[in-house]
Amino acid sequence: MTNGSAAPVSLVDTGAAPRLPSAGPLPVRSMIDASHARVVGRERESEVIAAALAAGRSILLEGPPGTGKTTLLRALAEGAGVGLELVEGNAELSPARLVGHHDPSRVLTEDYRPENFVPGPLVRALTSGALLYVEELNRVPEETLNVLLGVLSERRLHVPRLGVVDAAPSFRLVAAMNPSDAVGTGRITPALYDRSCRVGFAHQSADEETAIVRRDHDVVDAAFVERAVRATRSTREHPDLRLGSSVRGALDLVAVAESLAEVRAVALAGRLAPAAETTGTDAALAALSGRVQLLEGSTRTVEDVVAELWAASAPVDPSASSEDGDPGKA
């Protein structure tokens, strides 16, 4: 990621109606190889996104949080050999914060000059040829979205009192949003969809999510990791919950349980000893209760639901099953 230092700005004569800049190629195979090396799964998504970026297109990523969008994009930028300018979309992202501004103290003594312009993430990405990644696009104010629309259309930005900033050939815009989040969000104009390619993200498979957690916690009992993933995934289907947890919940659950087990001197396993079961429950409550949301009208508490899901995630005791099914037993 580039820093916030001033970057050289390309100025052109606006009266000459100059030719619009065009997108240059990006190394599609290098991007795919980098994503495969750093990201668990997501082969289809990485190939489609890399192909779209290599073709000079901008992309809109849609899906719930915690599905690996940022991780994948970082890997693709690394494979392409370009920087990544990350912008957090929110109601405070004004055009000035996105584009940049003239240093007020220097303007008083020097007037408006290119040298006292402080570039924002958009100008830095345009001039350096980085990927501009805007998270939570549907939280961005409309006037700021209009700035992005102009860049998507022309690969050129008109900055008052500065001039015209042309996009370097490797510049691309990638935005992400969670379309199911209706709190504090706005409607995305069809004009933005019309200027972008769209790639949808869903939660990954149980095997892939287990592999993600094992990669970060390879010393933890494998059966406990599988149970943590199973409990986390069950939050997405519980009838009392309108929002479940992403795989980040399983990562935190295992991390907290590992540390808590050391404090309490208990062993982690898929089926915990009775004295250790509380450790798993406490870790699940800490990791999941803030990530899930109850349905309107539910009479239960989040803690009650999470504790229930953790208990239900325990593997079946094979000895109990054999005893129940033994025809020789009375």
Q: Is it the case that residue 281 has pLDDT exceeding 60?
A: yes
Give the Å distances, CA to CA, from 44 to 56, 173, 189, 199. Answer: 19, 20, 27, 10
Q: φ, ψ for residue 87 (rounded to 5)?
A: -125, 125
Q: Which residue has the higher pLDDT, 276 or 107?
A: 276
Edge-to-edge strand ranges of the sheet holding 197-200:
84-88, 131-135, 172-177, 59-62, 197-200
Which residue, 20, 25, 17, 16, is CA-closest to 154? 20
Q: Contact at 8 Å (CB) between 267 and 261?
A: yes
What is the average pLDDT across 145-158?
93
Give SS3 for 292.
coil
Rg (CA), the chain: 25
Return the residue matching tokens 């820093």: 3
Q: Decide: residue 200, CB within 10 A, 0-12 exposed, 13-18 middle, 19+ buried.
A: exposed
Give the sign of the dihedral formed by CA 288, CA 290, CA 292, CA 298: positive
User: What are the chain's domains?
Assistant: 14-200 (3.40.50.300), 206-318 (1.10.8)
Give the Å distances, CA to CA, from 16 to 12, 133, 158. Answer: 8, 32, 14
* Residue range 45-92, pLDDT digits in tens: 999 999 999 999 999 999 999 999 999 999 999 999 999 999 999 999
What's the predicted TM-score (pTM) here? 0.85
Q: Is it the case that residue 284 has pLDDT exceeding 60?
A: yes
Give the Å distances, CA to CA, from 194 to 25, 98, 166, 167, 254. Answer: 21, 22, 22, 20, 42
What is the average pLDDT across 191-215?
95
* Residue range 239-277, pLDDT digits in tens: 999 999 999 999 999 999 999 999 999 999 998 998 899
Q: Which residue has the higher pLDDT, 206 or 327?
A: 206
CA distance 19 to 225: 57
Residue 15 is predicted with a pLDDT of: 47
* Residue range 288-317, pLDDT digits in tens: 999 999 999 899 999 999 999 999 999 876
Residue 184 is predicted with a pLDDT of: 55
| Bridge partners (DSSP) listed for residue 157 | 165
Alpha helices (runs of H) in the chain, residue ranges in sequence order: 28-38, 43-54, 69-80, 95-99, 104-110, 121-128, 142-154, 190-194, 206-216, 222-234, 247-264, 274-288, 302-312, 318-325
Would you list the DSSP string of 301-321? -HHHHHHHHHHHTSPP-HHHH
Return the residue matching tokens 């209009």: 146
